[in-house]
């Protein structure tokens, strides 16, 4: 059976195609933001571990990581959600940065980003007996 006016079918096809296209773009956007945010978190964790390896002060190292996360990472993270843990483990300095992504749209729920880094402690901290 043929109808004379078929414009409605094109509109319905466009609506379905638009929904699929929009879902693809939203997923691409959120995944990109999550990945870039993860790179910021990894850099902050590495810099915190490096700072702790040099000065052996967890407060300074955590402050450095939070300052790195506060520069441009606020675009990707909620600044209040950033948590930094810095500690020494044997002859290694370790740091962990955890943050919640700012962008999350159903059905793409971006999970919490948790990045860890480690660095060798300075020689003077690994062998303090030589510096008495």
Residues 41-83: pLDDT tens digits? 999 999 999 999 999 899 999 999 999 998 888 888 888 899 9
In a domain? residue 109:
yes
Give the least confident one: 67-71, 93-97, 112-116: 67-71
Beta bridge partners of 20: none
In a domain? residue 61:
yes
SS3 34: helix
Q: How many other β-carbons are positioned within 10 Å of the β-carbon of residue 17?
A: 10
SS3 91: coil
2 vs 129, more confident: 129
In a domain? residue 17:
yes
Give me the pLDDT at residue 94, please.
97
Dihedral angle of Cα 40, 121, 94, 82, to the nearest 10 degrees? -50
Give me the pLDDT at residue 109, please.
75
In a domain? residue 1:
no
In a domain? residue 31:
yes
Number of folded domains in the chain?
1
In a domain? residue 2:
no
Give me the pLDDT at residue 117, please.
97
pLDDT interval class at 110 (50, 70, 90): confident
Q: By C-alpha distance, which of 53, 73, 52 is closest to 63? A: 52
Burial 64-98 (b: 16+ CB within 10 A, else e): bbbebbeeebeebbeeeebbbbbeeeeeebbbbbb
Give me the pLDDT at residue 5, please.
64
In a domain? residue 98:
yes
Give me the pLDDT at residue 131, please.
75
């Amino acid at each position: 059976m043929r109808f004379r006016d078929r414009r409605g079918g094109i509109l319905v096809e466009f609506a379905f195609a638009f929904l699929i296209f929009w879902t693809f773009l939203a997923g691409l956007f959120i995944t990109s933001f999550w990945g870039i945010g993860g790179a910021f978190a990894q850099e902050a964790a590495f810099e915190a571990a490096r700072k702790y390896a040099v000065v052996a002060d967890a407060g300074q190292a955590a402050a450095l990581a939070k300052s790195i996360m506060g520069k441009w990472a606020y675009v990707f993270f909620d600044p209040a959600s950033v948590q930094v843990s810095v500690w020494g483990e044997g002859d290694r300095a370790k740091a962990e940065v955890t943050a919640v992504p700012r962008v999350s749209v159903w059905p793409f729920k971006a999970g919490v980003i948790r990045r860890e880094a480690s660095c060798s402690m300075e020689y003077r901290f690994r062998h303090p007996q030589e510096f008495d």
